[in-house]
C-alpha cells in the first residue's frame, strides 16, 4: 500500500508537471498570433480548442476514476496531453489546422488529468486531516513559474517552439509514469452506485453553486493565462519576452498565495479568505488597466495573482468534502469551471478587438461581483464516512 507521504509527494509532482506543460504552451501564445497573423478574435478561437477538448472529457472523468482509479486516468490524460502538444508544436507556424487539432487533443488529456489529480489530492488532504489542496495547486503554479521563466529564456535564445514543447512533454510523461503508482486508492464503489452518483451530482444545488463560483474564479485565473502577456504587449508597448515575464510574475504571486492560503483557510475558513482574495484580484486588474507607471502595473499583476490563487483549489476541496462522492462532484465542478476556459478566450478576444486587449481585462473585475454572492456554498462540510459507504 502506498504511504501517505509518498502519495503527497507524487500528487505534488503531478500538479507541478501539469503547470509546467501548460505554461510552456502559454509562453508561445504571442508567437501563435504573430506566426499565423491572427487577430485577437481569431486567436481566441484557436485557444478555444483546448477548452473544448477539456469540457468534452470532464463529464465522464468521475465515472472513469471510479472504475479505473486515479493512477490509470492520470496516465491516460498525460499521454493524450503529450500527443496533442506534440501535434500543436509541429503545426505551429506551418499548418494552423494541425495546431488546432493538437490543442483539442491536449485539452482532452489535460481535462481528465486535472480531475484525477484533484480527486487524489482531496484523498491525501483527508488523510492528513488538514488543508493542503491549495499547496498542491501551488505546485501547479510553481510549475507555471518554471515553465514561464524557461519560456522567456528559450524565446530570447531563439529556440524553436517545437524543440521547447517536445522536450517539456517528454519529461512530463516519463515522470508521471514513474511516480503515479504512489497514489492512494480511491474508495471503491459498485457499478450501479457509480452511475447513480454521477447523475445525482448534476442535480445537487450545493455542487452546482460551487461550480458557478469556480466558473467565475477560473475565468479570473484563465484570463491572465491566455491574455495577460498579450495585453501587456499591446497595452503597455513592451516586448514579447517582457510580456511573458509579466505572466511569470502573475504565476509566482499565485504560488505564494496558494502556500500562504492554507494556513489562512484553516484559521478563518474558506468563505472569508475567498472574499478577501477576490477583492485583491479586482483591485489588481484595475491597476493593470489604468496605471501608467511600470511599478504600479507590476503591483497590479501581483495583486491579481494572489487574488486568483485560491478559487479553483478551494472549489475542488469543497466539492470533495464527502469522500464517497468526491470523484463525481469534482467532475461536475470541473466541467462547469472549465466552461470559463471554453467561453473565456473567444469572448475576451472579441472584446479585445472592440476596446483593446488591455481594457478587455476589465471583464474579470465585473465577473467577480456576482461571484462573491455564491462563495458561501463552499463553506466547510465535514462528512463522516459510514462503514457501509
* Per-residue pLDDT, 192: 47
Which residues have CB under 8 Å from 178's CB, separation 6+?
Answer: none
E-assigned strand segments in 53-142: none
| HEC sequence for the chain | CCCHHHHHHHHHHHHHHHHHHHHHHHCCHHHHHHHCCCCHHHHHHHHHHHHHHHHHHHHHHHHHHHHHCHHHHHHHHHHHHHHHHHHHHHHCCCCHHHHHHHHHHHHHHHHHHHHHHHHHHHHHHHHHCCCCHHHHHHHHHHHHHHHHHHHHHHHHCCCCHHHHHHHHHHHHHHHHHHHHHHCCCCCCCCHHHHHHHHHHHCCCHHHHHHHHHHHHHHHHHHHHHHHHHHHHHHHHCCCHHHHHHHHHHHHHHHHHHHHHHHHHHHHHCHHHHHHHHHHHHHHHHHHHHHCCCHHHHHHHHHHHHHHCCCHHHHHHHHHCCCHHHHHHHHHHHHHHHHHHHHHHHHHHHHHHHHHCHHHHCHHHHHHHHHHHHHHHHHCCCCCCCCCCC
Residue from 147, 148, 301 nearest 224 by CA: 301
Count of other CB atoms within 10 angstroms of residue 84: 25
What does the pLDDT read at residue 87?
87
Helix (H) / strand (E) element for 174: namely helix 161-179
**The pLDDT value given to residue 342:** 66
Prediction pTM value: 0.70
192's CB contacts (< 8 A; 6+ apart) are: none
Give the per-residue pLDDT at 25: 84
Give the 3-state DSSP-derived string for 73-93, with helices as H, strands as E and coil as C. Answer: HHHHHHHHHHHHHHHHHHHCC
**Taking a C-beta distance cutoff of 8 angstroms, is the pair 172, 21 a contact?**
yes
- pLDDT tens for the chain, residues 1 to 389: 568 888 899 999 999 999 898 888 888 887 787 878 888 778 878 878 887 888 788 777 777 887 788 888 889 998 998 889 888 888 877 888 888 999 999 988 988 888 888 888 888 887 887 778 888 888 887 888 888 889 888 988 888 888 898 899 889 999 999 988 888 876 655 444 445 556 677 788 888 899 889 888 888 887 887 788 888 988 898 887 888 888 889 988 988 898 888 888 888 988 999 999 999 999 999 999 999 899 999 999 999 999 988 888 888 888 878 777 777 788 788 778 777 766 776 777 788 888 888 888 898 888 888 888 999 988 887 655 443 33
Amino acid at each position: 500500500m502506498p504511504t501517505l507521504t509518498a502519495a503527497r509527494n507524487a500528487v505534488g509532482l503531478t500538479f507541478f508537471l501539469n503547470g509546467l506543460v501548460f505554461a510552456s504552451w502559454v509562453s508561445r501564445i504571442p508567437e501563435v498570433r504573430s506566426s499565423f497573423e491572427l487577430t485577437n478574435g481569431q486567436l481566441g478561437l484557436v485557444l478555444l480548442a483546448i477548452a473544448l477538448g477539456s469540457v468534452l472529457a470532464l463529464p465522464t472523468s468521475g465515472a472513469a476514476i471510479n472504475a479505473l482509479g486515479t493512477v490509470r486516468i492520470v496516465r491516460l490524460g498525460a499521454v493524450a496531453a503529450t500527443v496533442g502538444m506534440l501535434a500543436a508544436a509541429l503545426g505551429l507556424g506551418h499548418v494552423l489546422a494541425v495546431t488546432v487539432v493538437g490543442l483539442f487533443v491536449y485539452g482532452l488529456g489535460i481535462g481528465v488529468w486535472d480531475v484525477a489529480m484533484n480527486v487524489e489530492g482531496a484523498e491525501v488532504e483527508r488523510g492528513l486531516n488538514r488543508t493542503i489542496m491549495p499547496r498542491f495547486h501551488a505546485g501547479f503554479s510553481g510549475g507555471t513559474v518554471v515553465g514561464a521563466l524557461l519560456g522567456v529564456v528559450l524565446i530570447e535564445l531563439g529556440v524553436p517552439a517545437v524543440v521547447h514543447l517536445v522536450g517539456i512533454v517528454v519529461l512530463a510523461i516519463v515522470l508521471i509514469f514513474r511516480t503515479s503508482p504512489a497514489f492512494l486508492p480511491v474508495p471503491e464503489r459498485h457499478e450501479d452506485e457509480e452511475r447513480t452518483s454521477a447523475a445525482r451530482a448534476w442535480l445537487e444545488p450545493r455542487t452546482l453553486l460551487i461550480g458557478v463560483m469556480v466558473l467565475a474564479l477560473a475565468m479570473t485565473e484563465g484570463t491572465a493565462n491566455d491574455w495577460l502577456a498579450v495585453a501587456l504587449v499591446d497595452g503597455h508597448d513592451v516586448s514579447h519576452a517582457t510580456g511573458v515575464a509579466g505572466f511569470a510574475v502573475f504565476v509566482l504571486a499565485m504560488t505564494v498565495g496558494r502556500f500562504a492560503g492554507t494556513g489562512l483557510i484553516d484559521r478563518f475558513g474558506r468563505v472569508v479568505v475567498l472574499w478577501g482574495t477576490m477583492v485583491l484580484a479586482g483591485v489588481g486588474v484595475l491597476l493593470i488597466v489604468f496605471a501608467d507607471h511600470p511599478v504600479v502595473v507590476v503591483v497590479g499583476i501581483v495583486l491579481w495573482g494572489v487574488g486568483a490563487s485560491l478559487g479553483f483549489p478551494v472549489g475542488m476541496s469543497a466539492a470533495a468534502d464527502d469522500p464517497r462522492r468526491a470523484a463525481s462532484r469534482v467532475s461536475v465542478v470541473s466541467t462547469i469551471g472549465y466552461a470559463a476556459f471554453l467561453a473565456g478566450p473567444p469572448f475576451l478576444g472579441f472584446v479585445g478587438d472592440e476596446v483593446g486587449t488591455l481594457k478587455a481585462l476589465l471583464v474579470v473585475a465585473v465577473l467577480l461581483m456576482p461571484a462573491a454572492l455564491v462563495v458561501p456554498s463552499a463553506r466547510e462540510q465535514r462528512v463522516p464516512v459510514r462503514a457501509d459507504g
